[in-house]
Amino acid sequence: DNFENVSEAAGGERFQLLLPVDEPNQFELLDSGVANLAIGTNGDDVFTFAADGVWGTYHVAQWNGDAEDSVSLAGFNRFHNAVSGNGGYDLLQLPSGDNGLLYSDLLSPAAASADATARLEGISEIAGNSGRDVIDLTDEYGGYAGDLLLKGGTGNDCLWAGKGADILVGGAGNDDLRGGQGDDIYLFDENWGSDTVLDDGGTLVFDNTLRGRLAFSATNGGTRITDGTNSIELSWTATAPEAIYADVGELVKLRRDTIKGFLA
């Protein structure tokens, strides 16, 4: 079934739409002027966000709630929605442009989520777009608990995961990648840019075309990996034999658990 241009009645604050529970559905959350709560089905759902506004000059994303470790959100797309995946493999797609998505957002208008402080739950994958994406899934308690596949796109992105065993794909551009807690995986294709990876450790997967081209060198407590003008600054010690090689271009088209199974 298709539903288009569904809106609330005059004076209303919420509506409920019942959909087939075991079938994939598409949820397009437009700029409605209100904070929407979208609850998915037992099937595989796609939630497509549209901006509800932009972040102001002094708004920042804070790593684990630390004001001393932050990045500016000024002028980035802002979202008032809350999403609950509710089972299945659920994808959250961000719009084009620069996006600032926060797991714990106490500043934007509130939507009645299952968790009063969280904007997201039950999501399997979050995909950025062609602009700069700041996806902050942390808070002072460790952040988002589920396992996620995070894709940044082609811009200079910040992908900050939470408690789960996550897969991070910065894509092209100069990216800030942080896996948080859990056993995380980082995927790098050719021409990945100049990236920083902050973690206690993790699995590094490079495209097959990079085999024999990477240079590993020790830094102060970490590792620098280079291929021509491309570089990675790791916060842990890694060596060349630890790297895994695969067809990254094909891997990133797969689902989270399929990627993990392939690399197991």
Total of domains in the chain: 1
**Residue with tokens 């910065």, as numbered in its chain:** 170
Determine, yes or no, domain membership for 128.
yes
**What single string gives the DSSP state of each residue in 109-122?**
PP---SSSSBSEES
Average pLDDT over residues 5-34: 50
The dihedral through the CA atoms of 225, 227, 157, 207 has a sign that is negative
Determine, yes or no, domain membership for 17.
no
Of 85, 228, 249, the closest CA to residue 151 belongs to: 249
Tokens standing for 207? 């495209």
Domain range spanning residue 187? 26-193+249-263
Determine, yes or no, domain membership for 132.
yes
pLDDT digits (tens, 9 = 90+) for 141-186: 889 999 999 999 999 999 999 999 999 999 999 999 999 999 999 9
Given this model, what pLDDT does residue 40 score? 80
Given this model, what pLDDT does residue 24 score? 57
Question: At 246, phi and psi to the nearest 5?
Answer: -160, 175
Q: What is the mean pLDDT of the chain?
A: 87
Determine, yes or no, domain membership for 18.
no
Confidence at 15, pLDDT banded by 50, 70, 90:
very low
Q: Is 6 helix (H, G, I), strand (E, B) or coil?
A: coil
Determine, yes or no, domain membership for 84.
yes
Q: Is the pLDDT of residue 35 over 70?
A: no
pLDDT digits (tens, 9 = 90+) for 65-123: 999 999 999 999 999 888 888 888 999 999 999 999 999 888 887 655 445 567 898 99
Determine, yes or no, domain membership for 93.
yes
Determine, yes or no, domain membership for 104.
yes
Of 139, 210, 151, the closest CA to residue 177 belongs to: 151
Average pLDDT over residues 189-202: 97
Determine, yes or no, domain membership for 216.
no
